[in-house]
Copies of this chain bind each other. A is one copy, B any other.
Amino acid sequence: MSSPTATLLISCPDQQGLVAKFANFIYANGGNIIHADQHTDFAAELFLTRLEWQLTGFNLPREFIAPAFNAIAQPLNAKWELHFSDTVPRIAIWVSKQDHCLFDLIWRHRAKEFTAEIPLIISNHLPLQEVAEQFGIDYHYIPINKDNKLEQEAKQLKLLREYKIDLVVLAKYMQILSADFIAKFPQIINIHHSFLPAFVGANPYQKAFERGVKIIGATAHYVTSDLDAGPIIEQDVVRVSHRDEVEDLIRKGKDLERIVLARAVRSHLQNRVLVYGNRTVVFE
């Protein structure tokens, strides 16, 4: 499987013959499908699929795949994305003061759990600059307050462009982004430290403690202009008890946050996530 692959992510109004049509497109051009996943949302009458095939032996040159597939997709009103496995996406990690998600993403990157470059860390605080230096990643300190937000967001956007960033990962960034920013750069994954939609907003562990829940969670989701309401990619939970103080919830939650964020980032980078409406299909 060392051959580079192409991946099509397609969502399309449901109709007869879609599996055959898409598979034929690849087969007719000499492609060897290594993963094919489908899902039909019957309520939404939507067909969603992910097709990954080996480029070695595929008769269409890369630059012709998109136009050729478009000829099939357009009459079906399909939306689609095409990705190549040897195009390495570039990530910016945004942090505040907490280091657990940052460390974890860096460790997984070194362990080759996902394929990406991490050239940029942005933070509204200074403490993690040292970590960035330790691992040779550029660190830009852009402090945010209520007066300078728009102007600082302009700086952030400029950096994302300069560094050719494909995905922003909010690894406990703890700031709300403006709707305008999100519109200009919509590829953002956030980790929220609660089992959404419970405990939206600030201090979820404190709220969870006060509510006396017996299980806490963490949620990775795409960021939209609605606070903590974007499409959920991954969630996980851990059991707590009356013996756990707020600080125990925070400690236990960190393990959740690390794992949930990492799974979501990995699924996204492997082009396994299809968003439609406010929902995701995550092909595993």
Contacts and interface: CB of A to CB of B under 8 A. Distances in A.
Given A39-B243, A195-B195, A284-B243, A103 B113 contact: no
- What is the oligomeric copy number? 4
Contact count band on A: 35 or more
Contact of A215 (B99, B217, B282): B217
Contact of A34 (B40, B255, B279): B40
Nearest to A211: B197
Given A20-B27, A36-B38, A278 B111 contact: no
A241 interface: yes
A104 to B, nearest CB: 8
A158 interface: no
A4 interface: no
Contact of A213 (B215, B235, B241, B259): B235
Nearest to A208: B197
Contacts of A236: 215
Contacts of A197: 198-199, 211, 213
B42 A242 contact: no
A239 B39 CA distance: 18
Given A24-B24, A281-B242, A215 B235 contact: yes
A23 interface: yes
B32 A16 contact: yes
Interface in A76-126: 99-100, 103, 107, 111, 113
A213 B232 contact: yes
A175 to B, nearest CB: 22
A1 interface: yes
Nearest to A40: B34
Given A20-B20, A195-B198, A199-B197, A214 B232 contact: yes
Contacts of A12: none
A144 interface: no
A17 B232 CA distance: 34
A211 B282 CA distance: 15
Q: A-B pairs with the 8 shortest C-beta distances?
A: A212-B279, A20-B23, A20-B27, A198-B198, A19-B23, A242-B281, A17-B27, A214-B235
Given A34-B40, A37-B37, A196-B198, 19 more contacts: A16-B30, A19-B27, A19-B33, A20-B20, A35-B38, A35-B40, A36-B38, A100-B111, A111-B254, A195-B198, A196-B213, A197-B199, A212-B231, A213-B235, A214-B232, A214-B234, A214-B235, A214-B282, A239-B239
Interface of A: 1, 16-21, 23-24, 26-28, 30-43, 99-100, 103, 107, 111, 113, 134, 195-199, 210-215, 217, 231-237, 239, 241-243, 245, 251, 254-255, 259, 278-282, 284
